[in-house]
Amino acid sequence: MSGPYEGEDVRREIGTFAATSIVIANIIGAGIFTTTGIIAGFLPGPGWVLACWILGGAIAMAGALCYAELATRMPDEGGEYLYLSRLYHPLLGFLTGWTSFFVGFSAPIAASAMGFSEYLFPSFGGALAGIDPVLVRKAVSIAVIASFTILHWFGLRAGSRVQNVLTAVKILIVAGIAGAGLAGVGASAGGSASPAAGGSGGAFAFGTAMMLVMFSYSGWNASAYIAGELRRPGRTIPVSLVSGTAVVIALYLAVNLFVLRALPYGEIGGTIAIVEKAAVAALGPWMGRALGILVAVALLSSLSAFIIIGPRVYFAMARDRLFFPFAARVHPRHGVPGRSILIQGGLAAAMVIAGSFEQLMVYLGFALGIFPWLAVAGIFIARRRGIGEETAVRTPLFPAVPLFFLAVTLVLMIVAFVNRPMESAAAIVTVIAGIPCYFLWKRVVGGRSDAEKY
């Protein structure tokens, strides 16, 4: 095939350590630094908070185990786009890529960049007196997006090295806080990690808290998106997904122990910068400023991981002539979908200029929760059809693991719709809006389906 949609094979250059780093970096973002304080406002005691994080970790691990099977059955670029196209219909694959392009990756990139500038600005704000702080934050955010976009445009070799370093720094930051939690640092401040009564609770409050916790765990499927660029995918995919998720679960629980021990429970609810507040209480006022800088560095790791993963989805779609032709182009020298990387960076920068992401993240979480659910359900289809049997790494405790994931995530999506109907409805409308676009694209451009490919 020739012409603007002609795709090329990307290079298999990513090893197990780099793939695991991408999973860890993709999961650990702003959520762990903000979510505990918010969910504490819904729950009656610290025991409930820990229960949320434990259940969230179990859901994420179940999803990672299921994706290990899906990705080894279909070890190519695209993640859910590939799985849904092949297992159900190309329309569903198109819709996951459609949603990912407009909000799934660009919005988190923008949010991570804005989080970076928000944490960094208080530390250096005194040197910028007289300058509009909003403009400074936006300028810093756009500069960060541009820098990492260019870095990853130059290829995976340099980009993955930077990703490894940033992820290592992030792990050290979170591990330091987690170690303080496990060592009982800050316990004298009057906090307690044991169950306690007080406030309002109930199933609906717990479900609302779980929505936010699952947002903090999102990214457990990261290495599945770049399966076509992994060396020895049969080993690298399951190891990176499972080990990366396990590391994050352990770190998240320990960080929460630190927070719950450092602060009285009555002071936690409604606090967004909860880790900083806990550090100040446990270690002194100077920790607030120092922690702000450290968290800013940690957010760079998440931003970098999103920039790596997103273009691989668009690449897989464009290769099937179901997306813009530029996305199928692999840079002849750097071996990456360079134009996709650049366009995604531009869209993320535009989102920074546009304004706040508070409601967008709720909307985003609901929209993207649909497609992993369908993908995990597709394991039953893949097994029935015998797809990739020779390369598959089977999900343990089948069918209990996928059924657990499907049942719990479905309940959480229902809770999300009841609790936030406007944002949830907007997410559904965004997904549905892609349906006429798919058929128009097929008619005008002549896209081919995964069914035709395979």
pLDDT at 203 over 70: no
Task: State the DSSP code for 100.
Answer: I
Whether 186 and 382 have beta carbons less than 8 Å apart is answered as no
Q: Could you tell me how many residues make up the chain? A: 454
- Cα pseudo-dihedral 436, 439, 440, 444, rounded to 10: 170
In the chain, % of residues over pLDDT 70? 82
Q: Which domains does the chain have, with CATH numbers?
A: 16-444 (1.20.1740.10)
pTM higher than 0.85 for the full model? Answer: no
Give the residue-averaged pLDDT of 220-227. 82
Query: What is the rounded CA–CA span in Å between residue 104 and residue 305?
Result: 13
14 backbone dihedrals φ, ψ, rounded to 5°: -95, 125
* pLDDT band, very low/low/confident/very high, at 395 (cuts 50, 70, 90): very high
Give the residue-averaged pLDDT of 266-288. 79
Instruction: Give Dmax (Cα) for the chain.
Output: 69
Query: What are the tens digits of pLDDT across the range 12-59?
Result: 667 888 888 888 877 887 778 778 888 888 888 899 999 999 999 999
* pLDDT band, very low/low/confident/very high, at 358 (cuts 50, 70, 90): low
Count CB-CB contacts under 10 A for residue 360: 20
Whether 189 and 287 have beta carbons less than 8 Å apart is answered as no
pLDDT score at 197: 44
* pLDDT band, very low/low/confident/very high, at 65 (cuts 50, 70, 90): very high
pLDDT at 309 over 80: no
* pLDDT band, very low/low/confident/very high, at 84 (cuts 50, 70, 90): very high
What average pLDDT does the structure give for the chain?
79
In the chain, % of residues over pLDDT 90? 20
SS3 state at 271 = coil
Query: What is the rounded CA–CA span in Å between residue 170 and residue 294?
Result: 8
Task: State the DSSP code for 155.
Answer: -
Range in 33-37, 119-123, 338-342, 446-450 the model is least confident about: 446-450
Range in 31-40, 124-133, 427-436 the model is least confident about: 124-133
Q: Alpha helix locations (H) across 320-357?
A: 338-354
Beta-bridge mates of residue 230: 14
pLDDT at 374 over 80: yes
Instruction: Give residue 269's region: left, alpha or beta (phi > 0; psi -120 to 50).
Output: beta
pLDDT score at 129: 54
Structure tokens at 297: 């560095």
**Cis peptide bond N-terminal to 337, omega within 30:** no
pLDDT at 7 over 50: no
pLDDT score at 324: 72
pLDDT score at 4: 42
Query: What is the rounded CA–CA span in Å between residue 284 and residue 302?
Result: 28
Q: Which of 40, 7, 2 is nearest to 340 (CA)?
A: 7
pLDDT score at 372: 92
* pLDDT band, very low/low/confident/very high, at 380 (cuts 50, 70, 90): very high
Give the residue-averaged pLDDT of 189-209. 59
Beta-bridge mates of residue 432: none
